Amino acid sequence: METKLPHIVVLGAGFGGLTFCQDFKGKAHITLIDRKNHHLFQPLLYQVATAALSAPDIAQPIRSILTDNDNVTVLMDEATGINLTEKSVSLKNGTLHYDFLILGLGGVTSYFGHPEWEQFAPGLKSLDDALTIRRRVLYAFEKAETEMNPQRRDELLTIVVVGGGPTGVELAGAFSELAKHVLVKDFQRIDPARARVILIEASTRVLSHLSPGLGDTARAQLETMGVEVKTSAKVKNIAHGFVELDSGEVIRAENVIWAAGVGASPLGRQLGVETDRAGRVKVAPDLSIPGHPSAFVIGDMANCVDKNGVNVPGVSPAAMQMARHVAEIIEDELLFPQHRQRKPFGYWDKGTMATIGRSAAVAKVQDFEFSGFLAWLAWLFIHLIFLVGFRNKVAVFLQWVYSYFTYKRGSRIITGQAGDAYLAEEETKNTPMVPPGHAH
Amino acid sequence: METKLPHIVVLGAGFGGLTFCQDFKGKAHITLIDRKNHHLFQPLLYQVATAALSAPDIAQPIRSILTDNDNVTVLMDEATGINLTEKSVSLKNGTLHYDFLILGLGGVTSYFGHPEWEQFAPGLKSLDDALTIRRRVLYAFEKAETEMNPQRRDELLTIVVVGGGPTGVELAGAFSELAKHVLVKDFQRIDPARARVILIEASTRVLSHLSPGLGDTARAQLETMGVEVKTSAKVKNIAHGFVELDSGEVIRAENVIWAAGVGASPLGRQLGVETDRAGRVKVAPDLSIPGHPSAFVIGDMANCVDKNGVNVPGVSPAAMQMARHVAEIIEDELLFPQHRQRKPFGYWDKGTMATIGRSAAVAKVQDFEFSGFLAWLAWLFIHLIFLVGFRNKVAVFLQWVYSYFTYKRGSRIITGQAGDAYLAEEETKNTPMVPPGHAH
């Protein structure tokens, strides 16, 4: 059974790694390694955090996606180190040698040198992150309902989102809808419509990767929905129950969500090659690691200037395009080993968009900018098309239709309380409480 | 705003407590208290544990269910003690006084005096239990794929279900389907079809609440699906990785699920009234606590012999019938306080059923017993009808149709690894591993 096929190791089953495995046509065996058993559709992760979708709706087992790709072995494991000279990858459960390596481990939440903020302000990169945020936010409303101290109650009903990029904008809009449209009917003592959602952005406007015009539109849409938008506001400190800004302003809030910083997977820094401030590997024009032509970096882990001088952004279409580029290079080289002539990568910007809420979104395709209902519909359909798995497409579509017409959220449940710091603290609290009119 | 309405406190938003809140027509204010924010449809919990359904599909926010019941206040809290003489309930966050009390806290998993088995053999009572089981079982298959030691690999691929009641039978059937039909296509080194699912029952047959004929049918259906059924087999010990039987037989298995014992919520034992061995409160014919006519116990917490001498079983229809009975008693008494004449509770057995797998189930309605495809269809529709929430009915129905035709499971994802004892152990392991044919 000993085959002498070349061995390609792919680290990470995100958009990049998965696309590579699906598109690679050459004669080689691929081993795909991921810490999780599922591919996650990150663009919809904020909808799990805001109780609109359930976790399995936006995740698909990697094995199941690649069930017909007989040349791919899937392992649930984690890379702990890479030796580019010996061409080997150390995993928690062993070591793999490779002929070609594809690094596509994506990003991690970065707290700009303040890792201590993480416990108070969770980021949003994994399903577990999303479920933590959902649990904490829903639980804060429950706590507010039994809270007698009005100041503490306001605190429980305040959500701060740090970072005015697409994730922050989408989260803030969705939290505002959750409070003002979904929860508002179901509480008796508190008024969820009075919940505050505050979006904090360090630069002068939200969605700074889009034009000032679209940024202004997004801001206006957010404010119409009741989100308080604070631009040119830098975070100085975060601890339990508050955010302090550079201006000295202190915002008391039970829930602070961190959507401000994305850094590359820490493995990039361990390679001993040049990385940028975010830890991304500075790749050669062909996406290989300079000096190591058998090792490629794709997706959010790569700092790439393409053949037209464009800084390739950390978005899923870029990761998928990079994966296809590398697949073609390796296919060619396996067929014509002597004729090594690699093309530089060129990024094709399909456009960017962000959704803000019901019937509200902004989009940019080439030089064409649009917003409102049309942009929102476009956003919905593009995300459905790219969502992996037929079952998930149908499930997400039906839930969106359901939520649109009923103003309800299908995943408004609190699970997994054990081990949550916020709840451990809660156990020790004991405020006297009686419902109005029933103190005997 | 001080109203002088009588105050009814309901503990537990299971089938009993929820039905009471929905059906009670009298003039009174109700406070419903539950530790969770959701009502759980327990009959389908095993489908979450076996990756067929996602957690939100079988749970509904309590507030959302009762959104139109303006006389009901919902609190997410936990009762820590009850004073029947002073008519008060202590909660984690305060104290409530009541005019009437409804205790419907349901059951807990009971290990028959061996609480130390719980960490090795999780029970199945809550969504968190189900997600723990799903995570551990799916992860065991992933670990088996990288395991080089054949004995350890067999252990990883063995699932033991303890207890041959409806839950145990349903779990064993669903695990066998998961391994033999769903996972079988997606692994390269292991053959999930070779996974062993072993069902252990202490008495002489499975489903002992049904006739011997139906029990035999269920056993035959399970064995056709590849489940090993061991009856008259008592568990002597459970520890990490094995189950020891009274016969001396030791079964090595990574996953052991406990479906053998259900005890009543521990609060019953703290009341200072008569309870049975399972901790259930022995109720008067009207379902009140003897000597305390304002306090009622319904559902799995009650040990009740009805007016016809029938021992009322711990099933959801019984809990709902008990809730309606108590609602009528209180309605009457509020209208005619002088005319206290309470009717005894009578249980109407609508029938019982258990599903075993695809097109396989057994059912008994009055004296009519049936099995096979018809029983399976009946099971599907009855569960859909009683599932709370329109969205959940549609979601579950569509997933069942999808799974039936594709042999896939929509919720095959591993989330929430942190804090899991099984995984902590795994971190320290380091077996050398290379894929076949790629050791360089």
**pLDDT digits 0-9 by tens, A94-122:** 999 999 999 999 999 999 889 999 999 99
Instruction: Report residue A399 as tokens.
Output: 């839930």
Torsion of CA B214, B216, B221, B225, to 10 degrees: 150
Q: Per the CB < 8 Å rule, is A419 touching B415?
A: no
Query: Residues B8-66: pLDDT tens digits?
Result: 999 999 999 999 999 999 999 999 999 999 999 999 999 999 999 999 999 999 999 99
Which pairs with CB-CB distance under 8 Å and at least 24 residues apart come from A395-399? A395/A57, A395/B395, A395/B398, A395/B399, A395/B410, A396/A44, A396/A53, A396/A57, A396/A58, A398/B394, A398/B395, A398/B398, A399/A52, A399/A53, A399/A57, A399/B391, A399/B395
pLDDT band for A417, please (50, 70, 90 cuts).
low
Judged against a pLDDT cut of 70, whether residue A291 lies above it is answered with yes
In chain B, positions 135-154, which contact chain A (CB-CB < 8 Å)? 138-139, 142-143, 145-146
Selecting among B170, B177, B254, B333, the annotated active-site residue is B170
Cβ separation B435–A96 shorter than 8 A: yes
pLDDT digits (tens, 9 = 90+) for A139-179: 999 999 989 899 999 999 999 999 999 999 999 999 999 99
Q: Which residue has the higher pLDDT, A313 or B430?
A: A313
Q: Which amino acid is located at A330 in the chain?
A: I
Pairing of strands A302-303, A281-282: parallel
- Which pLDDT does position A431 carry in this prediction? 36
Task: Check pLDDT > 80 for residue A424.
Answer: no
Is residue A27's pLDDT more than 50?
yes
Within its chain, how far is the Cα of B349 from the centroid?
A: 20
Contact flag A56-B188 (C-beta cutoff 8 Å): no
**With 60 as the cut, is the pLDDT of residue A432 above it?**
no
Which value does ipTM take for this structure? 0.83
For β-strands A107-109 and A158-162, DSSP reports them as unpaired
Which pTM value belongs to this model? 0.88
Q: In this model, does residue A3 exceed pLDDT 80?
A: no
Neighbours of A36 (CB within 10 A): 21
Active-site residue flag, B170:
yes
With beta carbons under 8 A apart, name residues in chain A contacting B146. 75-77, 93-94
- The pLDDT, as a whole number, for residue A427 is 36
pLDDT above 80: residue A17: yes
Residue B226 CA to residue B195 CA, distance in Å, equals 9
The 3-state DSSP class for residue B240 equals coil
Task: Answer whether B81's CB lies under 8 Å from B90's CB.
Answer: yes
d(CA B297, CA B16): 10
CA pair distance A206, A217, nearest whole angstrom: 10
User: Does the structure show a pLDDT above 90 at A72?
Assistant: yes
Whole-angstrom distance, CA of residue A27 vs CA of residue B226: 38
Give residue-wise pLDDT tens across range A80-89.
Answer: 999 999 999 9
Residue A32 is predicted with a pLDDT of 97
In whole angstroms, give the CA distance from residue A388 to residue A356.
Answer: 23
The 10s digit of each residue's pLDDT in A218-244 is 999 999 999 999 999 999 999 999 999
> What pLDDT was estimated at residue B428?
33
- pLDDT, mean over chain B: 90
> What is the Cα–Cα distance from B138 to B182, expressed in whole angstroms?
11
Would the pLDDT of A340 be above 80? no
What per-residue confidence (pLDDT) applies to B417? 57
What whole-number distance in Å separates Cα of residue B387 and Cα of residue A67? 33
In this prediction, the residues of chain B whose per-residue pLDDT falls under 70 are: 1-3, 417-440
Residue B120 Cα distances to A355, B114, B136, B161, angstroms: 45, 11, 11, 12
What's the token pair of residue A356? 């803000």
- Which token pair is A211? 């034009």
- Model pLDDT, residue A199: 98
Q: Find the catalytic residue in A147, A170, A254, A333.
A: A170
